[in-house]
Amino acid sequence: MNVMVINNLSSLRRYCVQASGTFYATTPIFYVNAAPHIGHLYSAVIADALSRYQRLRQPQTQVHLCTGTDEHGTKIQQAAAAQSVPVAQYCDEISGRYRQVFKEVGIANTDFIRTTEQRHKQAVAQFWRTLHKLGHIYSAAYSGWYCVSDETFLTDSQLRLDTATGARFSLESGHPVEWTEETNYMFRLSEIQENVIYWVKKGGHVRPKKFEKILLDMLSESLPDVSVSRPANRVHWAIPVPDDETQTVYVWLDALINYLTSAGYPDKKYRKFWPPNVQVIGKDILKFHGIYWPAFLIAAGLEPPQQLFVHSHWTVDGQKMSKSKHNVVDPVASAKTYTMEGLRYFLLREGVAHSDGNFSHVKALRILNSELADTLGNLLSRACAKSLNPQQVYPRLHAVQVDDLLRMDAAKRLQDALQQIEARCAQHYADNNFYLVVDTVISTLHAANNFFETSRPWELKRPAAAVTTGNDVDAANTQNIENFERLETIIAMTMDTLRICGIVLQPIVPQLCGKLLDKLAVPQEQRLWRNLDDCFATKSSNENVARPLDVHTDAVLFRRILLKEEDLQAGPPIKSPPVPQTKEKMKQKQKEKTAKSKTAAQ
Ligand code: MSP
């Protein structure tokens, strides 16, 4: 074992220190060989929700959320060639689509990185030089089975042999492999393996726990060194190895370094955000992020991430999404039915990190209609109904009425739910269990709808005019005033519930909650986690005034989707967008079309 390596490593073992005052979250960077689908969106909305939660809890924290596109390698080379599009143009097109979809779905990324950018090439060159200088890289003749789709060499035990054809396939992904013999640079993974195990075993870095176990299983065998370069004449669409133009950097090493580039590496400013607080990845890329990535970092003298949050996959009606099955769910087309907020809600509400989730159009329709339209939306419409709330205000709470109403079971249940919502949801967010946050909020909203119905506000008439003559208060008038105050209190308690639920759900459906809180005229600075505590609080008299609602914001939060379930059995008309075409190809197609229509006309 290389002595220099050991010395460097033992002085490093702190995994993981935390940068303070900052929060750095990442999504994987997305291959540009295919347009975005809901699986990709899922990685991004999780990272976005985590970052938004951080801002909600600690508005002073500087949050950095990075996403972007992974643009090098054989796979991309081949995809561009198949479309007869220059590879750079091909990358621009698909990368642009990711950027656009993420914008539409409200991903608040502070950076969008492309591996073809100059800043990234510099980071990769510097990182490579560091590994090389520290003795972690050596040159060797290498042969093995390479899987282009997965961009990785596989060992015999990771292959399946098709005896009929003699072809081999990756056991895990099912993609074909090809025998490759070449001279490569190798990374001494075998020497870092024990350090990676140390990092994983320190606990809490790989979540959910299930994936920590899977990773430790993978690490229980001695791992061979990894090839970290390819001959430039085979893979030219890649970053050149510094000082050796015959080789290009292995796409996974290139791709992983994006997380450093985005933090500012090689400039020292990267330290402000290093190590990342959370890196969101899908289960298929666990090996790269849970073994190679910490190994590369530890070898280069850098801290591995604080947390890898691994999610499972989306299937569609029980089947793996794939182009050949024509079941790839395109977010842009789906949003026409569900809206982007609806899609975001569905993914975070239905997705459970440790198990695969099933995307079904019928289920999406049911959930969005029953929860966003009928439960959340309906409660807001009720509280804002002109018949009950003609002055369009967030009314005052009257202490006597609050006490009286709380004698009702329905009100008590609502109060109990609200008293627990902060602690429960804080725990669920801390565990990245968004579905449990939504469960808690929805059951609170059910309690609120029930309270509203049980307290029958429509029976409490508004007084025509509260007339008092001297010290004598007319008995009927007193009743009127009491009724009016009770009505105000019921609406205020309902609005308080909506305000609390709106604050809690912001990381999950930010635009929808923004609209809800706008309607309730909740000032921006009072939409933070710390504003969750003053529910049903009768404030001091000068604060306890009715506030006008925002009349410019529609009280309909989420429109019911009016499709019939039968229409959705086969899925709404969702198609993947066309791949980019060269001008020549488009011209050719146009010619063919014209020729066809001429023939038809004859
Ligand atoms: N480019 C690599 C990542 C490099 S990160 C340094 C890559 N790209 S990807 O486009 O194939 O996948 C990006 C993310 O989308 C991964 O987290 C992956 O797990 C996720 N998903 C792709 N299909 C998915 C589903 N069907 N369901 C959920 N997420 C899935 O891998």
Q: Determine whether the shortest distance from the Cβ of 282 to ligand 1 is under 6 A.
A: yes
Q: What is the pLDDT of residues 563-576, one digit of tens each?
A: 877 676 656 544 44
Q: Cα(7) to centroid of ligand 1, in Å?
A: 36
Residue 10, pLDDT above cutoff 50: no
Cα distance between residue 255 and residue 237, in whole Å: 13
Q: Which of 266, 258, 200, 300 minimizes the C-alpha distance to 28?
A: 258
pLDDT level of residue 476 (50, 70, 90 thresholds): confident
Distance of CA 30 from the midpoint of ligand 1 (Å): 6
43 Cβ below 6 A of ligand 1: yes
Ligand 1 touching residue 285 (CB < 6 A): yes
Closest residue (by CA) to atom 14 of ligand 1? 40
| Distance separating alpha carbons of residues 380 and 374, to the nearest angstrom | 10
Q: Where does the pLDDT of residue 325 fall: very low under 50, low under 70, confident under 90, or very high at 90 and above?
A: confident
> Which atom of ligand 1 approaches the CA of 321 most closely?
26
Contact 517, 557 (CB under 8 A): no
Residue 518: closest CA among 374, 384, 324: 384
Mutate to test the pocket of ligand 1, among 127, 279, 284 (most ligand atoms within 8 A of CB): 284
User: pLDDT of 427-458, one tens digit each?
Assistant: 999 999 999 999 999 999 999 999 999 999 99
Distance in Å, CA 120 to ligand 1 centroid: 20
The closest-lying atom of ligand 1 relative to the alpha carbon of residue 255 is 6
- Rounded to whole angstroms, the Cα distance separating 121 from 208 reads 33
Q: Ligand 1: does its nearest atom lie under 6 Å from the Cβ of 292? A: no
If you average pLDDT over residues 301-325, what whole number do you get? 91
For ligand 1, say whether the CB of 70 is within 6 Å of any of its atoms: yes
- Report CA(97)–ligand 1 centroid distance (Å): 16
State the Cα–Cα distance between residues 532 and 371, nearest whole angstrom.
22
Ligand 1 nearest-atom number relative to CA 70: 1
Q: Which amino acid is at 111?
A: D
Please count the other Cβ atoms lying within 10 Å of the Cβ belonging to residue 6. Answer: 12
Q: What are residue 544's phi and psi, to 5 degrees?
A: -85, 70
Q: Which of 5-9, 360-364, 393-397, 589-593 has the lowest mean pLDDT?
A: 5-9
Q: Is 39 in the pocket of ligand 1 (CB under 6 A)?
A: yes
Does the Cβ of 30 fall within 6 Å of ligand 1?
A: yes
pLDDT band at residue 18, thresholds of 50, 70 and 90? low
The string of DSSP codes covering 149-187 is TTTEEE-GGGEEE-TTT--EEETTT--B-EEEEEEEEEE
